[in-house]
Amino acid sequence: MIMTKKKIVKLSLFVVGIGIIVAVSIALYLFNMPHRDVQATAADFTYTASEIVQEYLADSEKANEKYLDEEGESKILQVSGMVSSISEDFNHQKVVLLKNDNDPAGVSCTFTQETNDGVTNVSIGSQITVKGVIRSGATYDDDLGMYEHVIMEKCKIISYKESNH
Amino acid sequence: MKKLMLSAIAFSMFALLAFSSIATKLISSKTSVKFFSTTPAEDIEANNYKTVSTIDTSTGDVVFSLPMQSFEFEKALMQKHFNSTDFLDTKKYPKAKFVGKITNLNNINFEKDGTYKVTVDGELTIKDIAKQQIIDGTIVVNGKIIEVTSKFKITLADHGIAFKNGKPSTNIAKTVEVTLVAEYPEQ
């Protein structure tokens, strides 16, 4: 079949049109791509607060290599420990510090406005398990003159055990 | 007996000194750091609530340590760009840091309620590249709480944050504005 000039023009316009629609949809999809839902994603590792703190204090570079992601979608951890303090940040998110009395640093877990409620009946001294994404590790900082905690965000309580005191 | 007394006095002096040197350090983990970039194409904002800071009220030493992956953007894609090796490379450089000294410490009374202008001269280290920054801010002493606020600009090229080509290079300003709030409970 021999195509007329008109037909060729029509066909190429059609192909170009489809191409533009596909390109625009991909761009829109990428631009509006939602954030990763940390709580809907399975935990990569399960630890006690002491274990992850000790791993970082032993070799922070190695630990960063293992837990941090190049695009910021770092590993999701499930961490158990003793509640050492409870506070709230400027974004009205609850912050629970899991720290063993014998450790120089702990795991600071920041909740979200959706998961904050789970913290309401948590008391200091109780044992809890929290799932969240790691943002940075524990280290001794010379300039601050103190230890920095492991930082986890997007946290949610997985389990809770009343303290014995 | 006299010797014992003397050593007891020496010991208590030492204990007092040690105690007071601890007591002059303010620690804040309730902070907000926002950066804002504006170009005709787009306004971009990111917030970080996980910065830790200390102020030594006797020496004027000021330190801020920022976990870079804690910067939250409205758009997931922007957050990925920000963290990637092309921009802040947060896997390799998970923290940014500011270490400085208050230059007008004599004008600030951390024990007396009031609003004080403060100037801090220090070094901001992002991606392992240190750059001098002289930052003006305000300290508000209000009872048991000391609040520091500041607004300053960072030139991205100073820290090796270069935009070779592509969309982000035209949509991000060459200098970004940083707004900082930190609350230090009295120790």
Q: What is the CATH number of the domain that holds A125?
A: 2.40.50.140
Say if residue A135 is in the same domain as residue A83. yes
What's the pLDDT tens digit per position in B75-97? 999 999 999 998 999 999 999 99
The verdict on a CB contact (< 8 Å) between B67 and A30 is no
Residue B168's contacts (CB-CB under 8 Å, 6 or more residues apart) are: B81, B86, B87
Q: Are residues A42 and A29 part of one domain? A: no
Which is higher by pLDDT, A1 or A113? A113
Please tell me whether residues A25 and A43 are part of one structural domain: no
Count of domains forming chain B: 1
Residue B11 covered by a domain: no
Q: What is the CATH number of the domain that holds B181?
A: 2.40.128.110
Hey, which bits of chain B come out as E strands? 25-28, 30-38, 43-48, 52-56, 61-67, 72-73, 95-102, 114-126, 129-142, 145-155, 175-185
Q: Which of A64-73, B40-49, B67-76 has the lowest mean pLDDT?
A: B40-49
pLDDT value of position B162 = 73
Say what the pLDDT of residue B24 is.
87
Q: What is the pLDDT of residue A30?
A: 83
The pLDDT, as a whole number, for residue B73 is 95
Give B5 to chain A, closest Cα distance, Å: 34
Quick one: tokens of A4? 């007329």
Each residue of B149-180: pLDDT tens digit? 999 999 988 888 876 655 566 677 788 999 99
- Residues A106, A49 within the same domain: yes
Is pLDDT at B68 greater than 70 in this prediction? Answer: yes
Alpha-helix residue ranges (DSSP H) falling in A32-136: 49-58, 60-67
A110 touches chain B (CB under 8 A): yes
> Of B32, B77, B91, which has the smallest distance from its Cβ to A33's Cβ?
B77
Please check whether residues A74 and A134 belong to one and the same domain.
Answer: yes
Round the average pLDDT of chain A to a whole number and report it.
94
Share of chain A above pLDDT 70, in %: 96
CA distances from B129 to A143, B132, B162 (A): 16, 10, 13
Domain holding A11, by residue range, is 1-33
A85, A49: one domain: yes
- A65 with A121, same domain: the answer is yes
Residues in chain A, overall count: 165
Check if B57 contacts A (Cβ < 8 Å). Answer: no
A82 and A21 co-located in one domain = no
Q: Of the candidates A91, A136, A143, which has its C-beta nearest B49's C-beta?
A: A91
d(CA A53, CA A79): 11
Which among A25, A132, A141, A124 has a CA at the least distance from the CA of A82?
A124
Q: Which residue has the higher pLDDT, A24 or A163?
A: A24
Report A:3-62 residues touching B (Cβ under 8 A). 30-36
Q: Which domain holds residue B163?
A: 25-185
Please check whether residues A72 and A1 belong to one and the same domain.
no
Domain co-membership, A83 together with A116: yes
Residue A27 has pLDDT above 80, yes or no: yes
Contact B178, B35 (CB under 8 A): yes
Q: Is residue B6 part of a domain?
A: no
The answer on A50 and A10 residing in a single domain is: no
- In this complex, which of B30, B80, B83 lies closest to A87 when CB atoms are compared? B30
* Shortest Cα–Cα distance, B122 to chain A (Å): 12
Q: Read off the pLDDT of residues A92-133 as tens digits, 9 standing for 90 and up.
A: 999 999 999 999 999 999 999 999 999 998 999 999 999 999
Chain A residues with CB-CB distance to B79 below 8 A: 35, 71-72
Quick check: B91 contacting A, CB < 8 Å?
yes
Percentage of chain A modeled with pLDDT above 90: 85
> Which positions ≥6 away from A140 have C-beta within 8 Å?
A57, A104, A146, A147, A148
Q: What is the per-residue pLDDT across B14-36, written as a single tens digit (0 to 9) for each?
A: 555 555 544 689 999 999 999 99
Domain count, chain A: 2
* Cα B160 off chain centre by: 20
- ipTM beyond cut 0.90: no
